[in-house]
């Protein structure tokens, strides 16, 4: 039987899925990625407000980083943007809405305004050699949006993906 030739593209495809959401990443690999979150090299991709409904919305920023050759990570950072314009005087006067009160639950205003949550949300393995951080940010952001992730409805005007 003749030996079957395979292209570089099919060899890359044989290595497994190129794009993965957080829930699809092996736990041991995810721990390795998570340990890199505080390290240098993250580039700001895009930030802004997202809205699913009047009762489900928020603020998210995305950052991209090449973890190792051909492997790009996308992390999200979320915060309580609903508290951005709240002052101590508003708190003392009881001028907060239910969402703002819930965001502050058990914390001072300053603590609640500084609270953030970050996690790796997507990985692009098998990225072509020479992939730029902007190209990686575009590919990963597009991927999470198509998979039901938080798509920014009101983007800021800074970052790799700013128009």
Q: For the chain, what is the mean pLDDT?
A: 89
Cα 110 from Cα 84, distance rounded (Å)? 10
Q: Which tens digit of pLDDT belongs to each residue from 18-32?
A: 999 999 999 999 999
- pLDDT score recorded for residue 15: 58
- Does an H or E element contain 114, and which? helix 109-114
Domain ranges of the chain: 17-80+115-155
Q: Tell me the pLDDT band of 16, cut-offs 50, 70 and 90.
A: low
Mean pLDDT of 51-58: 82
- Based on C-alpha coordinates, what's the Rg of the chain? 20
- pLDDT score recorded for residue 80: 87
- pLDDT score recorded for residue 9: 41
CB atoms near residue 42 (< 10 Å): 19
Provide the 8-state DSSP code for 40. S
- pLDDT score recorded for residue 53: 80
Residue of 139, 136, 119 lying closest to 77 (CA atoms): 119
- When comparing pLDDT for 4 and 95, which is higher? 95
Q: Which tens digit of pLDDT belongs to each residue from 117-135?
A: 999 999 999 999 999 999 9
Longest dimension (CA), the chain: 83
Q: Tell me the pLDDT band of 108, cut-offs 50, 70 and 90.
A: very high
């Amino acid at each position: 039987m003749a030996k079957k030739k395979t292209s570089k593209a099919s060899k890359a495809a044989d290595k497994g899925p190129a794009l993965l959401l957080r829930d699809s990443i092996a736990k041991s690999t995810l721990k390795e990625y998570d340990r890199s979150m505080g390290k240098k090299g993250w580039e700001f991709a895009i930030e802004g407000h997202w809205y699913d409904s009047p009762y489900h919305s928020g603020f998210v920023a995305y950052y991209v980083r090449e973890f190792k050759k051909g492997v790009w990570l996308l992390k999200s950072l979320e915060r309580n943007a609903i508290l951005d314009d709240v002052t101590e005087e508003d708190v003392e006067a009881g001028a907060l809405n239910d969402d703002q009160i819930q965001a502050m639950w058990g914390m001072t205003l300053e603590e609640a305004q500084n609270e953030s949550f970050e996690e790796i949300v997507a990985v692009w393995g098998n990225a072509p050699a020479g992939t730029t951080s902007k190209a990686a940010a575009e590919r990963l952001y597009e991927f999470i949006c198509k998979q039901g992730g938080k798509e920014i409805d009101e983007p800021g005007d800074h970052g790799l993906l700013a128009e």
